[in-house]
Amino acid sequence: VRHDDGPDPGGPAALVLAGRAWRGGRLEPVEIAVGEDGRIRSVGRVRDAGRRHDVGDRVILPAATDLHVHFRDPPGPTGVESIATGTVQAALGGVGLVGEMPNTSPEVSSVDALDAKEARVRGRAAVDVLLYASPGSPSALGALAARAGAFKLYLSPTTGIDRPVPPEELPGLLGRLAGLGLPVTVHAEDPSRFLDPRKAENPAAWNRARPPAAEEAAVERLLKAAPPALRVHVAHVTVPSLVTKLRSAGVSFEATPHHLLLEAKAKADARFKVNPPLRGPAERTGMWEAFRAGQIPCVASDHAPHALDRKQGPFDLAPSGVPGVETMLPLLLAEVRRGEVPLPVVLSSLCDRPARWLGQPMGRIAPGHRANLLVVDFRARSTVRADRLHAPAGWTPFEGREAIFPVEHWRDGERIVADGEFVGRPGGTVVRPDFAPQPP
Ligand SMILES: [Zn+2]
């Protein structure tokens, strides 16, 4: 049985990708016709095939969207990443669109800073980039919103953010943002609930210093202050009780692979220092159960690499953050292979929902969507090893874990990864949300 999405309009397609895809509740053979515009034209039987690329019984998936990365471009004196290197990792990890956060130096809180950042994407990005902005001065907010892809707010200090949004300013700011229509992502930790973090010397102590209660208090404050019209999304949720709370409030949120897969250990070093902290087994297991049950709308990497010597120095001086854009989808595809999570859950939380949240016509294999597609061989399991990854930082918190990397990655019907190697050109562009009705 084939599930044809309407008749193929006919005429030669620019490309026909043939393989298997998840359709109607199972993997079945498909032919995906791609038009000259790089959009999917039909899915099903193609009458008049042009250039045909047959991947046999390998699986064609939509490329993922990573809502949350820090490529820190320009890199500053301690930087180990850039838009060029970060987007190649994204491409190799099956991520076709990244949301780049604004806490660079200088912070992206003005139209000038946004222009400068856009100039750094053009001709350098392997995949598309959506640029977040920090709100900056209230009088310039409208001009900034006309250019930015989304906003990011910090309710607590973190890397590059010394002045979080003061509690008394939050309701007014959210009110102004609600009228602008852009998605708003919030880093929700309440610093008044932190213990003295300078005393923390390992990831388990870091978890006690920035406890789950700090996240719960910040989300409480956010839900009270957020007007109904605001498109608000909570970054890196680590506490199962918040999954229930945010779902019943109808608020979007994400979990990260590191909070889903790793736990805070007293014997680990500052490579595992991240904000919010890695949690204990109860929270980690609860988050994983919620994820596999399809209760977590989005997974995002919060890719935030730092040089190894800074991460292996004194814990209190080490910066927070782990790399992850290249391993996010591959780690979870390995979990699919092991039967730990259903494939449709991974497709929803890494491909479909994040793309929808940012107003992008991708993340589904359906007519009208961009032909941003992956080819995956579920038999080709490998082991994550930092020296086989492409992060200039040269380390990963997932060393030794099983992963399934995409064999191919297509951007708008053009192949950018073949046999697991980047073969594309830096043709990624800056995209902005379009919340007009998307193709079904
Ligand atoms: Zn972040």
pLDDT band at 46 (very low <50, low <70, confident <90, very high): confident
Sign, CA dihedral 169-171-173-176, equals negative
pLDDT-based confidence at 158, cuts 50/70/90? confident
- Predicted confidence at residue 48, as pLDDT, reads 66
Residues belonging to the chain: 440
The more confident residue out of 385 and 12 is 385
* Ligand 1 centroid to residue 161 C-alpha, Å: 11
- Report d(CA 425, CA 411) in Å as an integer: 10
User: What local confidence, expressed as pLDDT, does residue 75 receive?
Assistant: 81
Strand residues in 356-436 grouped as ranges (E): 373-376, 382-383, 402-403, 408-411, 414-418, 421-422
Is pLDDT at 175 greater than 60 in this prediction? Answer: yes
Residue range 393-409, pLDDT digits in tens: 999 999 999 999 999 99
CA of 5 relative to ligand 1 center, distance in Å: 38
- Reported as a pLDDT band with limits 50, 70 and 90, residue 137 is confident
Contact 285, 259 (CB under 8 A): no
- Residue 107 · residue 142 · CB < 8 Å: no
Indicate left, alpha or beta for 176 from its phi (over 0: left) and psi (-120 to 50: alpha): alpha
Residue 302 Cα to ligand 1 midpoint, Å, equals 5
Tens digit of pLDDT for each residue in 213-225? 999 999 999 999 9
Return the CA Rg of the chain: 21
45 band by pLDDT with thresholds 50, 70 and 90: confident
**Strands 414-418, 408-411: parallel, antiparallel or unpaired by DSSP?**
antiparallel
Average pLDDT (157-168) is 80
Question: What is the per-residue pLDDT across 298-325, written as a single tens digit (0 to 9) for each?
Answer: 999 999 999 999 999 899 999 999 999 9
Question: Catalytic residue at 302?
Answer: yes
Ligand 1 centre to CA of 156 (Å) is: 12
Of 302, 309, 419, 434, the active-site residue reads 302
Compute, in angstroms, the gap from residue 153 CA to the centroid of ligand 1.
Answer: 11
Q: Quote the pLDDT of residue 2.
A: 40
pLDDT digits (tens, 9 = 90+) for 257-306: 999 999 999 999 999 999 999 999 999 999 999 999 999 999 999 999 99
Phi then psi for residue 337, to 5 deg, are: -60, -35
**Beta-carbon contacts of residue 310 (< 8 Å; ≥ 6 apart):** 78, 317, 318, 319
- The per-residue pLDDT for range 16-37, each reduced to its tens digit, is 999 999 998 999 999 999 999 9
Does 10 have pLDDT greater than 80? no
Average pLDDT over residues 366-374: 97
Q: What is the mean pLDDT of the chain?
A: 93
